[in-house]
Amino acid sequence: MKDMAAVMGKSMPPAATKHALSGNKGPNLATSQEVDCPRPNQDKSPAKKKKARSEASTLDSTCSFDATAAGAGREISMLVTKFTEVLSERAASDTTQIKELEGILTEARNLESYLKEKKSKLRQTLALISDKLQS
The model's pLDDT over 19-44, given as tens digits with 9 standing for 90+, comes to 444 444 444 544 444 445 455 555 55
Q: Is residue 86 part of a domain?
A: yes
Q: Is 55 exposed, middle or buried (0-12, 13-18, 19+ CB in 10 A)?
A: buried
pLDDT of residue 62: 76
Q: Is residue 119 part of a domain?
A: no
Amino acid at 54: S
pLDDT, average across residues 101-122? 98
Q: Is residue 92 part of a domain?
A: yes
Q: Which structural domain range is residue 38 located in?
A: 2-109
Q: Is residue 135 part of a domain?
A: no
More confident residue, 135 or 126: 126
Q: Is residue 47 part of a domain?
A: yes
pLDDT, average across residues 105-112? 98
Choose the weakest-confidence range: 47-61, 63-77, 90-104, 111-125: 47-61
Q: Is residue 15 part of a domain?
A: yes
Domains held by the chain: number: 1
